[in-house]
Structure 1
Amino acid sequence: GIHPAILTDRGLDAALSHIAARCTVPVTLTVDLPTRPAPAIEGITYYTASELLQNISKHSHAHTATLDLWHTPHHLMLQIRDDGIGGADAGRGTGLAGLAERLGAVDGVLVVDSPPGGPTVVTAELPWRA
């Protein structure tokens, strides 16, 4: 797909900072990557984070959120938390299910933990490909 210019030019740290700043809920961002992942993994990570932050803005009634991105020996990990009302369900609707499908296309997984009353924690695990 087409990547935003900031992602192509400056990588995930800058691109995620940009979308976090646009979120209607204050987002604390932490990015700890030794190098840039493969463009396809970088694009899917950006898209996933963007969609999840939009969901927080639209549905969570949260006051704060965190977005953490880090590398393990074999995976790129993305975790987004909010202190909202919870109740997000990947089996209901198409948004989270679509993200899970997109991640699955590169052997990634999406885990949603969102009990009624909150908080919501969404973790995406993607294969690390440099």
Structure 2
Amino acid sequence: MRRAGLDPNKAESKVKFGRHGEKLEKGKCATTLCFGCDARCDETFECAQCLEIYRARAKKVAFDAWERAFFCSCKCYIANWDEHRRRHGPSTAGPTKMDGAVHEFEAPPGLGALWHGSDLRRLEFEECAPMMY
């Protein structure tokens, strides 16, 4: 299992940072960048599995480094699926001063999908098969 979003060589803190060094608030950075091509984007297309993982982790872990993943388009999501799906595997969240437990999280089931933030619906893609763990 891996420690999602954390540098194992640094001490943990309440302040969590995203992949580009920006502070995370509710799993999001102030500037939304596409997880596929790093272009600026809005929050219309969010990886549905990453959102499920974030919600499961938020129920148990007070200070977490899980970054939600947004994409600029469906095409970009599909093109970057093979690399992005590696985030969806089993992971852990380490102990904090408030909670000394190590929490383990399973990979969410299902095909790759985007959550459409405006239409509030799930967009599934058959070509985005999950990794087998």
TM-score range, shorter chain: 0.3 to 0.5
TM-score by length of 2: 0.34
TM-score by length of 1: 0.35
More helix by share: 1
Of structures 1 and 2, the larger Rg is shown by: 2
